Chains A and B, each alone.
Chain A
Amino acid sequence: MSDAAIRIDRLVKRYVDARSRSEFVAVDGISFSVEPGEFFGLLGPNGAGKTTTINAIVGLAKITSGSISLFGHDVERDWRAARTTVGLAPQEYNFDRYLNIRDVLIYQAGYYGLRGPAVRRRADDLLERFDLSSKARQPFTRLSGGMKRRLTLARALMHEPRLLILDEPTAGVDVELRIELWTFLKELKAAGTTIVLTTHYLEEAEELCDRIGIIEAGKVVALERTSTLIGNRSLQDVFLELTRR
């Protein structure tokens, strides 16, 4: 049996406020797996624990208890191998403001231990693919919102990760770009990349995801194939029913 792209086992993430000593459980013992090549949607209302789960997967959040492995590599014990498998496109624009956008991509590859002509070619190919070539020498601050969103995706793909995590990749972009990104993501999946998507656009999850997990108050409240989860209703109806507090 091949290793799961993501295997999360009884993950708990608890935040402690040092001043008031109060605790907040953001993720409360969730378990699920994502298979290689799968397009998986992680949905939930604001504050449900989606971003915390993603942060735990990529190493931005310390795990309180439980475990996460990526393609068989534990994210804590075998962190270096685990991190090379995953690319993150965060919701925020956190680019390096001292680099032009071509260098943002080249330096990103460098942090993953890659350099040379192949890296420069890949950066140029991605800039071309995302229609950013004419802006290659400009800082990201000169890009429009849609361009920044495309750059976020290009950066996440620089080291050719087997697993791509997209945290609200189409937030704030126009319909035309959203559909363009959907087409690109379908191509990536067809090429074998495993994709995890969080989004508040339920039609996006319905269109793209093979399987959907819904988180509410740090717990998984649904985990089904998209078609099974929806049945003959809309995803919005199912979502509201499961997450109504």
Chain B
Amino acid sequence: MNWIGLQTLVKREIVRSFSIINQVVWPPVITTLLYIFVFGVGLGSQIKTIDGVSYATFLIPGLIMLQVIDQTYSESSSSLFQGRFMNSIQELLIAPLSAVEMVAGYIVSGLLRALFIALLITILGFVFVHTLPQNWGLYLLVVFLVAVLFSALGIIFGLLAEKFDHIATLTTFVITPLVFVGGTFTSNAFLPPLLRRIAEFNPMFHMIDAFRYSYAGHGDAPLGLSLAIVGTLAAAALAVALRMTASGYKLRV
């Protein structure tokens, strides 16, 4: 195992993230503050409680998941695609780095970025709506699983893409719609029975619901089921990302 090579790749990804701070740090902070003020403080003041917690407390976990998903997918997909586009990925491909080490580098980088963003929004939640997670272990577990899943999806789409536009396709047509209808802003309990049943097939619902457990101590779906679904999807995406990288798909001609 080339541990120094792996650490170097992670360090390089962190340097890259902080050199594009206007894409990495400020958008999630500003977007989250806007959601807190418009939905949490403004509209939310008209809603007494949801599932026994204030609307603002209900909202924060959804906002954290929204940004964690977006940031981890962006991290690996854009870095990998840019490396292919500029040919700088050849530095990694000719080095004694295995596919496992390369994929681990992107996943760990995504995980660190996810933790940074999650903690930043958690602090905003504490400062503006005075809410903190009750179960930090569960908080970290869900961030870990979601970051692995979307970093791996980022690798897959970073390899599949032929132009930057292709990377945005998944975000625009799949991730954003599913996150918005996946319980970020409202509880599934508000939906009619048929729609509630359909919503349970949305994987984003299970990510947000499992994460909300760490704040509220309860959710709409059984916690074990949600964790199993997210864990299975993360393992499957990781396996596909590893397979594609090991085969040299669009990396080695």
CB distance from A163 to the nearest CB of B (A): 12
* Docked pose: A97 CA to B82 CA in angstroms: 10
A127-177 contacts to B, CB under 8 A, are none
Residue B4 CB within 8 A of the other chain: yes
Least Cβ–Cβ distance between B4 and chain A, in angstroms: 5
Minimum CB–CB distance from A14 to chain B (whole Å) comes to 11
Check B96 against A98 for contact (C-beta < 8 Å). no
Partner of A92, one of B4, B87, B92, B253: B87
Q: Would A110 and B88 count as touching, CB distance under 8 A?
A: no
Chain-A contact segment, one of B8-16, B37-45, B190-198, B204-212: B8-16
Which residues of B in the span 71-105 have a Cβ within 8 Å of any Cβ on A? 86-88, 90-98
Contacts of A96 in B (CB 8 A): 12, 88, 91
Which single residue of chain B is at the shortest CB-CB distance from A159?
A: B95
Contact assessment for B15 and A55 in the assembled complex, using a CB-CB cutoff below 8 Å: no
Q: Is B95 a contact of A111 with CB atoms below 8 Å?
A: yes
Nearest B residue to A83 via CB reads B96
Assembled-state Cα–Cα distance A81/B96 (Å): 8
Contact pick for A113, options B16, B87, B92, B96, CB 8 Å:
B96
B54 contacts A by Cβ under 8 Å = no
C-alpha spacing A103/B248, complex, angstroms: 27
A108 to B9, CA, bound (A): 10
A15's closest neighbor in chain B, by CB? B253
Once the chains bind, are B16 and A110 in contact (CB under 8 Å)? Answer: no
Q: Is the CB of B94 within 8 A of A59?
A: yes
How far, in Å, is B81 (CB) from chain A's closest CB? 14
| Size of interface on A: residues with Cβ below 8 Å to B | 31
Nearest-CB residue, chain B, relative to A81: B96
Shortest Cβ distance from A85 into B: residue: B96
Taking the nearest CB of chain A, how far is it from the CB of B62, in angstroms?
Answer: 32
A198 shortest CB reach to chain B, Å: 16
Q: Which of A58-91 contact B (CB under 8 A)?
A: 58-62, 79-81, 83-84, 86, 88, 90
The verdict on A107 contacting chain B, using a C-beta distance below 8 Å, is yes
B2 on the A face (CB < 8 A) = yes
Given A62-B252, A94-B86: A99 and B12 within 8 A (CB)?
Answer: yes
Closest CB-CB distance, A72 to chain B, in whole Å? 16
Q: Is B176 an interface residue (CB 8 A)?
A: no
CA distance A60 to B252 in the complex (A): 5
Residue A112 at the chain B interface, CB threshold 8 Å: yes
CA distance A47 to B61 in the complex (A): 56
Q: Do B91 and A94 have beta carbons less than 8 Å apart?
A: yes
A182 at interface, CB cutoff 8 A: no
Interface string of A29-67 (1 = CB under 8 A from B): 000000000000000000000000001001111100000
How many angstroms from the CA of A43 to the CA of B48 in the assembled complex?
Answer: 78
Please tell me if A115 contacts chain B, counting CB pairs below 8 Å.
Answer: yes
A-contacting residues, B94-119, CB 8 Å = 94-98
A110 touches B253 (CB 8 A): no
| Cβ contact of B15, chosen from A80, A98, A108, cutoff 8 A | A98
Q: Is the CB of B98 within 8 A of A59?
A: no
Residues of B within 8 A of A110 (CB): 4-5, 7-8, 11
What B residues does A115 contact at CB under 8 A? 4, 8
Is A94 within 8 A of B88, CB to CB?
yes
CA distance A112 to B92 in the complex (A): 9
Q: In the complex, what residue of chain A is closest to B9 when comparing beta carbons?
A: A111
> Across the two chains, which residue of chain A brings its CB closest to B89?
A94
Is the beta-carbon distance between A62 and B253 smaller than 8 angstroms? Answer: yes
Tell me if B253 and A55 are in contact (CB < 8 A).
Answer: yes
Nearest-neighbor residue (CB-CB) of B87 within chain A: A94
Counting from the closest, the 10 A-B pairs by CB-CB distance are A110-B8, A111-B95, A94-B87, A80-B96, A83-B96, A98-B16, A113-B4, A58-B94, A111-B5, A113-B2
- What is the interface of chain B, defined by CB distance below 8 A to chain A? 2-5, 7-9, 11-12, 15-16, 19, 86-88, 90-98, 248, 252-253
Q: Which residues of A contact B (CB under 8 A)?
A: 15, 55, 58-62, 79-81, 83-84, 86, 88, 90, 92, 94-99, 103, 107-108, 110-115
Q: Would you give 15 A-B contacts (Cβ < 8 Å), ordered by A?
A: A59-B252, A60-B94, A62-B253, A83-B95, A88-B94, A92-B87, A94-B87, A94-B91, A95-B88, A97-B88, A103-B15, A110-B4, A110-B7, A111-B2, A111-B5
